Amino acid sequence: MQAAATSESYFQTQLRARASNDAVAAPSGIDHLVNAAAKYLPKPQVTRIRKAYEFAQAAHAGQARFTGHPYITHPLAVASILVEMRLDDKCIIAALLHDVVEDTSATQSAVSRHFGREVGYLVDAVSKLGNIHKSHHEAQAENLQKMIFAMARDIRVVLVKMADRLHNMRTLAVLPHEKRRRIANETLEIYAPLARRLGMHEVMVELEDLSFENLYPLRSACVRRARTKFALNRKFVLKKITDRIAKAVHGANIEAEVFGREKHLYSIYRKMKDRHKSFREIMDVYGLRVIVRSVDDCYRALGVVHGVYKPFTDRFKDYVAIPKSNGYQSLHTTLFGLDSIPIEVQIRTREMDDVASHGVARHTKYTGSGTGSPRESLSERWLQEVLELRKDAKGNHDFVEFFKTYLFPDEVYVFSPDGDIYTLPSGSSPVDFAYAVHTDIGNTCVACRIDRNLAPLNTRLETGQTVNIITAKSASPSPDWLNYVITNKARSSIRQALRANQRSAAIALGTKLLNQSLAHASTHIRNLDFRRLRRVVRGLGFRSVKDLLAAIGRGEHTGYAVANRLLAHKDPDFSAVPVEIDEAVGISQRDHVIISFARCCSPVHGDPIVGHVSHQRGFVVHREGCPNLVEIRKRAADELTPAKWVGMPDQEFQASLKLEAANDSNALSDFASVMRQVGASIKSLKVESDDDEQALIDMEVSVRGLAQLNRLVRRIAAIPSVREVRRAFR
């Protein structure tokens, strides 16, 4: 252990020395940068690049890096990485200025004023990208990559950030241990895969190997040594193979370069670790690359190569016809080599090779000299170029998916207060977010904060926001939410919760109503015979007791009618629904069911009554013998229930009387005096007279109950002019 620790620190010392070496930490002076840029950019742009350098130098004056070099060496190094990629002037300027807003007193508006809004935007976006790591969660590297894209909008933001990271990685070894580990891990998780997605193979390789070296100085040094030794042993055989293939290809009149290629350290290490392979197993293959001049030559060279060594039949890949999602194109084939060691051959054109190394950066070779509209982003150009490249390729869904998801996302990425990232479809609301976090959070959500400010629950979320859902234990979803949630999860959860709430409320009420009715027979639902209960439930067409209780709660059955069925054998007298009236007119206090009186027969308190449940009118009470009952009985005999009056209400009832009387002018005053005597009143009076002799009178009277009505009828009958009086059914 001791020895390992000692050698580890030896390698660390080496790493640190290399990181602070001028060639790595401060590789470029401004003159060198400007000269390199002048090779592909017009003069006015080069002048602006120098101006940007002067601006950055003034802003960073007095600042130094961990390596001991003046701070300006860093933006300069970042800019020269992008010049090597031959990117446009705005990208280079943004690279020179990428740390001024964050780390100096210069403001974004000053940057915009001096170098234009486009550069201002790039600098701002790169600064923001730097901040999202602060809430980065390990398991979400994938999401974070997406987020970087979504926030970037312009691929140049990602390119500047990538170059920034690359230079920071090159000088990483000078940082304290903890910071070094964190940044190296982050690079492996986020930036290297991002570089791969963008087809920037060279950058990816360098980022991975730098991370590997900084995380595991000893292991990486071991792998490097082993690789060097191995290559040395293989040198002679590799040269023999290379020469043989080159000779054959040239012999077929194909202009080509053939050379061996090396695996990078981290890929060897990862294969050993992940696939549990030995170093020898991984290295037991020769890698060759053949660079030709045209697509045609690719296929011709392939034929030649297959003539030199026999190919493995199942190891051939045509990425020329069907490029990889990041635009990579090449022919891959594996041959049986000498001593049965396989030879992996990649055949491609110079342009394809360039793309394979630099990916998106190579597709952005426009010089910013005014081609195309300025609003057209670099990524869109890239998309078009790559689409152009693979015009003939068919049905590569992965490719389409890549652009949809990564460059033009219809998704938003938001943070939870803990820094977890959630991916939601764009247009999502805080309620969608709440349900994405957890169904319970959604169901109890009452309000939300977006970036610490209270916001309405129907706000459209935007990428990068931090959403904090405020919940309350007793809260429940509002039907209103259905108007703006867009995720299926939220929608179905809200519906389910609403249904469940309604149902549980209905069951609770139904249970209460049934128990109240059962209490008349001094019993309780718990005391009922289970088999009988089940029979009644089935008999009424329900599948479970809960379904029946819910139906009672919704007013589809009366508790009393059900109790009646349940107790029929026990208590023969228990056969009528109590119609109890209190001051809140029409509500039976006992059953909490709306009671209404059928207008056809106008029952009054004391009449023998029956009732049935109507969905609109609750429990509708009819007088026994009402002609309409015949119809109702036919329709649903089950629904018709005997009812009985309970208590004496402080309420008046309407009753209809039909009279036949002599057409006597005194009749009206006679009626009036009878009413007074009995204490009733006339509500309406309709007189129809056929002739002078006889009148037919429809009279609506208001009485307190049957006894009073009967008294009234007797008195009316006693009036001399009245021939007949009877209660009417309408």
Annotated active-site residue 688? The verdict is: no
Of the CA atoms within 13 Å of residue 549, those in its CB half-sphere come to 21
Distance CA 55, CA 59 (A): 6
Residue span binding Mn ion (CB under 5 A) among the ranges 158-166, 251-259, 322-330, 414-422 = 158-166
95 interacts with Mn ion by CB under 5 A: no
Distance CA 290, CA 301 (A): 8
Helix (H) or strand (E) holding 287: strand 286-292
Q: Residue 437 has which token pair?
A: 């976090």
Would you list the DSSP string of 549-608? HHHHHTTSS-HHHHHHHHHTTT-TT--SEEEE--SSTTB-TTT--BEEE-TTT---TTS-
Q: Which is nearer to Mn ion, 89 or 164 (CB)?
A: 164
Query: How far is the CA of 41 from the CAs of 31, 48, 83, 370, in angstroms?
Result: 15, 11, 10, 12
Q: Which is nearer to Mn ion, 70 or 608 (CB)?
A: 70
Burial 132-147 (b: 16+ CB within 10 A, else e): beeebeeebbebbbbb
Distance CA 680, CA 652 (A): 9
Q: Which is nearer to Mn ion, 74 or 227 (CB)?
A: 74
Least Å distance, CB 166 to Mn ion, is: 10
89 interacts with Mn ion by CB under 5 A: no
Q: Which is nearer to Mn ion, 36 or 97 (CB)?
A: 97
Q: Which is nearer to Mn ion, 49 or 254 (CB)?
A: 49
Residues sharing a CB contact under 8 Å with residue 351, sequence separation 6 or more, in sequence order: none
Residue span binding Mn ion (CB under 5 A) among the ranges 157-165, 339-347, 659-667, 687-695 = 157-165
Is residue 75 within 8 Å of residue 99, measured between CB atoms? Answer: yes
Q: Which is nearer to Mn ion, 125 or 407 (CB)?
A: 125
Q: Which is nearer to Mn ion, 129 or 610 (CB)?
A: 129
Residues 379-418 that bind Mn ion (CB under 5 A): none
Distance CA 327, CA 347 (A): 15
Residue span binding Mn ion (CB under 5 A) among the ranges 97-105, 369-377, 563-571, 704-712 = 97-105
Among the options 8, 84, 103, 638, which is catalytic?
A: 103
Least Å distance, CB 91 to Mn ion, is: 14
Return the residue of 89, 99, 154, 591 that touches Mn ion, per CB under 5 A.
Answer: 99
Annotated active-site residue 102? The verdict is: yes
Distance CA 726, CA 625 (A): 14
Pairing of strands 618-623, 467-471: unpaired
Distance CA 153, CA 232 (A): 47
Query: How far is the CA of 596 from the CAs of 491, 579, 612, 616, 647, in angstroms?
Result: 39, 10, 10, 10, 17
Least Å distance, CB 341 to Mn ion, is: 45
Residue 567: Cβ-neighbour burial (10 angstroms; 0-12, 13-18, 19+):
buried
Q: Which is nearer to Mn ion, 88 or 164 (CB)?
A: 164
Q: Which is nearer to Mn ion, 85 or 507 (CB)?
A: 85
Query: How far is the CA of 678 from the CAs of 438, 686, 701, in angstroms?
Result: 69, 21, 12
Least Å distance, CB 156 to Mn ion, is: 15
SS3 assignment, position 112: helix
Q: Which is nearer to Mn ion, 63 or 544 (CB)?
A: 63
What percent helix, strand, coil does the chain show, rounded to 5?
Answer: 55, 15, 30
Single-letter amino acid, residue 591: D
Q: Which is nearer to Mn ion, 81 or 291 (CB)?
A: 81
Least Å distance, CB 7 to Mn ion, is: 32
Residue span binding Mn ion (CB under 5 A) among the ranges 93-101, 154-162, 491-499, 636-644 = 93-101
Residue 639: Cβ-neighbour burial (10 angstroms; 0-12, 13-18, 19+):
middle
| Sheet with 722-727, edge to edge strand ranges | 681-689, 694-703, 653-662, 722-727
Residue span binding Mn ion (CB under 5 A) among the ranges 162-170, 416-424, 426-434, 486-494 = 162-170
Q: Residue 553 has which token pair?
A: 């709660």
Residue span binding Mn ion (CB under 5 A) among the ranges 21-29, 96-104, 313-321, 431-439 = 96-104
Residue span binding Mn ion (CB under 5 A) among the ranges 98-106, 274-282, 399-407, 460-468 = 98-106
**Residue with the closest Cβ to Mn ion?**
164
515 C-beta neighbours (distance < 10 Å), count = 16
∠624-630-636 over CA atoms, to 5°? 105
Distance CA 636, CA 601 (A): 19
Q: Which is nearer to Mn ion, 99 or 385 (CB)?
A: 99
Distance CA 198, CA 194 (A): 6
Residues sharing a CB contact under 8 Å with residue 95, sequence separation 6 or more, in sequence order: 75, 78, 79, 81, 82, 160, 163, 164
Q: Which is nearer to Mn ion, 164 or 209 (CB)?
A: 164
Residue span binding Mn ion (CB under 5 A) among the ranges 92-100, 113-121, 138-146, 153-161 = 92-100
Q: What are the phi and psi torsion angles at 583 (to 5°)? A: -65, -35
Distance CA 332, CA 329 (A): 10
Among the options 102, 354, 652, 698, which is catalytic?
A: 102
Least Å distance, CB 62 to Mn ion, is: 17
Least Å distance, CB 428 to Mn ion, is: 33
Helix axis angle, 117-132 relative to 155-170, nearest 10°? 60
Is residue 590 within 8 Å of residue 580, measured between CB atoms? Answer: yes
Residue span binding Mn ion (CB under 5 A) among the ranges 161-169, 207-215, 392-400, 512-520 = 161-169
Least Å distance, CB 130 to Mn ion, is: 8
Return the residue of 89, 164, 353, 432 that touches Mn ion, per CB under 5 A.
Answer: 164
Q: Residue 464 has which token pair?
A: 């990068």
Residues sharing a CB contact under 8 Å with residue 269, sequence separation 6 or more, in sequence order: 212, 216, 219, 220, 223
Residues recognised as catalytic? 102-103
Residues in contact with Mn ion by CB under 5 A are 99, 164
